[in-house]
Structure 1
Amino acid sequence: MPRLMPDPGPRRVIAASNFVYTVGSGLYLTAGVLYFTEAVHLPAALVGLGLGIAGVVSLAVGIGVGHLADRYGARGVYAITLVVQALATAGFVLADSFWSFVLAVGTATGAKAAGLAARSPLIRHYGGNRPQEFRAHLRAVTNVGISLGALLAGWAVQVGTLPAYRLLVIGNAVAFAASAAILTHLPPVAPVPAVGGPRWIALRDRPYLLLTALDGIMAVQFKVLTVAIPLWLVTATTAPRWLISGTMLVNTLLVVAFQMRASRGIVSPAAGGAAYRRAGVAFLVSCSLISLSAGIPAWAAAALLTTAMVIHTIGELWHSAAGFEVSFALAPRHATGQYLGVFGLGAGLAEALGPALLISLCIGWGRPGWYVVGALFAVTGLATPLAVGWAQRRQQPLPKGSRPRAARKGAASGAVPGSATR
């Protein structure tokens, strides 16, 4: 962890805030659903429905809040989203019915999506010439924080009492509030002056919207680890059940160790498109290996699943690095929050629809379904470089005199105009 922390300064403040936040996220990701089913005694089906409603409602929040961060200053807007998320999470302890649960979890989920968009201008401002690499750095820190939170949540799950679950929820809310407090040590970022033209330019940028959709399809891969593999391992293979935790551990360690390294060679949108293509091939190979793990001895199934997870994680590293590159490099600096809010729609849709898709194909259909999912990833990876090329050719022009031509040219080549540390 000390090696992952940047040198003292604004980047360390952002990384420290992110680390504390993700410890809280790890608490919730591990035991949040169990809190509502075991402690609040809501039926699992209603919990799933409520989470789906919250996910859909949160989709559009990031765009609006990202625009506010662009216009009024990212630090303050981001801190407000963290405070709202802390209060909504604390409200979980008061949720005693389905609709109070939906209200609390919907507010928390919306604030989370808003925070991701509002944080983007901070990453771009303090990320130097390569904010994409700083974003990759934060992802490595995120995995450490989530892992620590998951370990702490294990205690509450093991105890299984109402006070233990409520302590977990309060710990989650405190982590979000502490993350906001740490941001007070970050120098404020002055809003970038708006330029002429439509206000919601990201929603008019068709190439960027296409990239958002393609990244959303590829983002379904994140649910392979948390949804499809656990269910497949239990229902279709003879592999030991402890391997579910083992695959999670392998994935986390590889991301922490190699996410920054995977991002270093992806320094232009074209390189990002090529990384999407490699990721699609890696996911096709991993899905094919997972499908072969059914109906074979336990040791062979375990070996295949572990190998598949390593290959899948390599694809995940390429996919994440590619997303960091194209989402920042193809977004105009004055609308970073708005553009990254739009880009987050793809991941939001994958979050909402991915589990049902994977369960239907991989678990319901079985082995052929894995091949279909793998082919979907591969085709998406092949299509993305074409979309990147279109986006580079059709980057939305700004009104004459609003920004130097050289700056626009630099953005198209992968440089981030005006993003050097000031």
Structure 2
Amino acid sequence: MTNAPSPAPQASRAPRALLLAQLSNAIGDGAFYVTSALYFSQIVGLSAARIGTGLTLAWAVGSVAGVWLGHLADRRGPRSTAVLLALATAAAVASFLFIRAFVPFLIAAAVYATAQSGLAAARQALLAGLVEPSARTEVLARLQSVLNAGLAVGAGLGGLALHAGTRTAYLSVFALDAAGFLVCALVLRGLPPVAPAPAPVASAGEPRLAVLRDRPYALLTLLNALMLLRLPLLSLALPLWIVQRTSAPGWVVSALFVLNTGAVMLFQVRVARKVTGLSGATRAVRLAGAVMLASCAVFAVTAVDLGPWTTVAVLALGAALQVVAEMRHSAGSWQIGFVLAPAGRIGQYQGFYGTGVPVARTLGPLLVTALLVTWGVPGWLLLGGIFLLTGVVTEPAVRWAERARARAAVTHGATELVEAH
């Protein structure tokens, strides 16, 4: 199998620059996430149904486009592609300042989601070109910690805008987010260039986007999306559960969010260092599935009236188990997504693998709220079972992908030998 070229020596400071780029747009995104829905509903006047429909359609478009933009990063160079997409994201956010109706909102949201999805894929390809393979998981863990820190700071700033409740306050948040992506583009522009990857030799009839026919990788992408159902669980379903089905006070929702983000900031790097290679990655994902089942079972206990403070303690235990599973899954998922992406196609493969996030964020809320808020305890146990099964199935799926890579390497070697003669 052809190995990816070693990162250039002058890229030794790349991780620090990547962290700064992540922080610059994470702060703006944190403020944007907590204010955007209320701005479009209360200030612009869009209905909740239209906002939800618009965002679902936008992220559906962005998920598909992210694969193509990842392929573009492979062929044209990830640094220039990432810079252009950061600028496009800034422009899309800035356009929200002038939105007054649904159709412009839908168009701007689609551009925003497309640029964000493509930027994520291009950044992964850029990281692969600048960071040694042995250091990638640790760098990704640091990026995740910085992301959480930035989102937390941004959420605090967004809270100030919500408290003010004025149009000017909301627009200041959008301006902050747009400025963050401009800074991100500037920082990425200062990184060493990464040469476009040479196009891999394609078999007869193989599509340009080979990832679309890579069934083992597609299965792993699906399994990753199922594990990512923990995202709407924390941000939507659990808050609704706490308010509607438990005796815990409402402030617990914020406390659990702080617990999650704080734990990731403090321990994600430490957890990721222990996950090396595909065998370690599959063990981490399998353990994450089992711990998520335990977390769901603990949360289900709070359906019983235990009293406010006992309920708070049980919820804290469930949240602690959840964040342990989150950090394990993240570390294992990063390894799987990178190691099994062929050299020369990291951008398009990461663009495809990354679709799990928007899929979980758009379709996940419907699933987890139906399971938990509607079904209650059986829903918690069923969701936990999904996490457990997903973690278990990941290991044979990885072995399938490894066998497919080995066969492809043999076929590629035979093709080169025939061409040489």
Identity percentage over the alignment? 35
Cα gap change, 1:123 to 1:402, in 2 (>3 Å):
farther
Q: Which residue of 1 aligns with 2:281?
A: 272
Aligned to 1:60, the other structure's residue is in SS state: helix
1:137 to 125, 139, 142: 142
Could you report, residue by residue, the CA deviation over 1:307-345 in whole angstroms, capped at 9, with x for unpaired residues? 100000000001100110000011112110011111112
- SS of the aligned residue for 2:355 comes to helix
Cα–Cα, structure 1 residues 204 and 124, in superposed 2: closer, same or farther, change >3 Å?
A: same
Q: For each residue in 1:77-126, what CA deviation from the matched residue of structure 2 results, as whole angstroms up to 9, or x when unmatched?
A: 01111111110111111111111111111110111011111111111122
The equivalent residue for 1:192 is: 197
Name the CA distance, whole Å, in 2 between partners of 1:374 and 1:344: 23
SS of structure 1 residue aligned to 2:46: coil
* Partner of residue 256, structure 1: 265
> How far apart are residue 127 of structure 1 and its match?
1.9
- 1:70-149 correspondence to structure 2 within 5 Å: 70-130=74-134, 131-149=136-154
> Among 314, 333, 346, which residue is 2:343 paired with?
333
Q: How many residues align?
A: 398
- Note if contact 1:85-1:107 (Cα within 8 Å) is conserved in structure 2: yes
Q: Which aligned pairs between 1:274-293 and structure 2 lie closer than 5 A?
A: 274-293=283-302
Uncovered stretches (5+) of structure 1, i.e. residues with no partner: 1-6, 405-422
List gaps (5 residues or longer) in structure 2. 1-10
Aligned alpha-carbon RMSD (Å) = 1.6
Alignment-derived partner of residue 316 in structure 2: 306
Whether the 8 Å contact between 2:145 and 2:266 is mirrored in structure 1 is yes
2:216·2:397 contact (CA, 8 Å) conserved in 1?
A: yes
Offset of residue 279 of structure 1: 0.4
Q: Note the alpha carbon deviations across 1:205-224, whole angstroms, 9 max, x for none.
A: 11111101111111111111
Paired with 1:106 and 1:277, the residues of 2 have a C-alpha distance of 35
| CA contact 2:31–2:151 (8 Å) conserved in 1 | yes
TM (norm. structure 1) is 0.92
Distance (whole Å) between structure 2 residues aligned to residue 136 and residue 332 of structure 1: 22
Bigger Cα displacement from structure 2, 288-297 vs 211-220: 288-297
**SS of residue in 2 equivalent to 1:334:** coil
Counterpart of 1:121, as a letter, is A
**2:213 aligned with 1:204:** yes
1:339 is paired with a residue of what secondary structure? helix
In the TM superposition, residue 403 of structure 1 has moved relative to its aligned partner by 9.0
Shift of 1:8: 7.4
Corresponding residue for residue 158 of structure 1: 163
Aligned residue for 2:3?
none
Q: What is aligned with 1:297? A: 307
- What residue number does 1:350 align with? 360
Counterpart CA distance in 1 for 2:234 and 2:356 is: 18
Q: Distance in 1 between matches of 2:13 and 2:383?
A: 43
What is the Cα deviation at residue 350 of structure 1?
1.2
Range 71-80 or range 41-50, more displaced: 41-50
Matched, 1:247 2:256: yes
Q: Name which of 348, 365, 387 aligns with 1:377.
A: 387
- Note the alpha carbon deviations across 1:284-326, whole angstroms, 9 max, x for none: 0111111111222111110011110000000000110011000
1:399 alignment partner in structure 2: 412
| One of 46, 53, 58 as aligned partner of 1:42 | 46
Deviation at 1:402, TM superposition (A): 8.7
Is the CA contact 1:81–1:115 (under 8 Å) kept in the aligned structure 2? Answer: yes
d(CA) in 2 for partners of 1:55 and 1:372?
27
1:185-204: per-residue Cα shift (whole Å, max 9, x none)? 11111112112113222112
Contact 1:195 1:402 (C-alpha < 8 Å) held by counterparts? no
User: Could you tell me how far apart the structure 1 residues matched to 2:85 and 2:133 are?
Assistant: 27
Partner of 1:23: 27
SS at match of 2:132: coil
What does residue 55 of structure 1 align with? 59
What is the CA deviation profile of residues 130-172 of structure 1, one whole-angstrom value per residue up to 9, with x for unaligned ones? 2122111111111111111111111100000111111111111
Indicate conservation of the 8 Å contact 1:74/1:191, yes or no.
yes
Give the whole-Å Cα distance in 1 for the aligned partners of 2:281 and 2:399. 11
Q: 1:298 to 1:95 in 2, by over 3 A?
A: same
SS in 1 for 2:198: coil
CA contact (8 A) 2:291 2:321 kept: yes
Counterpart of 2:394 in structure 1: which amino acid? T
CA contact (8 A) 2:130 2:194 kept: no
Structure 1 360/89 Cα, relative in aligned 2: closer, same or farther at 3 Å?
A: same
User: Are residue 178 (structure 1) and residue 183 (structure 2) matched?
Assistant: yes
Alpha-carbon contact 2:54-2:105 (below 8 Å) kept: yes
Contact 1:270 1:389 in 2 (8 A): no
Residue 346 of structure 1: how far off its partner (Å): 2.3
CA contact (8 A) 2:129 2:194 kept: yes
Could you tell me whether the CA contact under 8 Å between 1:132 and 1:328 is conserved in 2? no
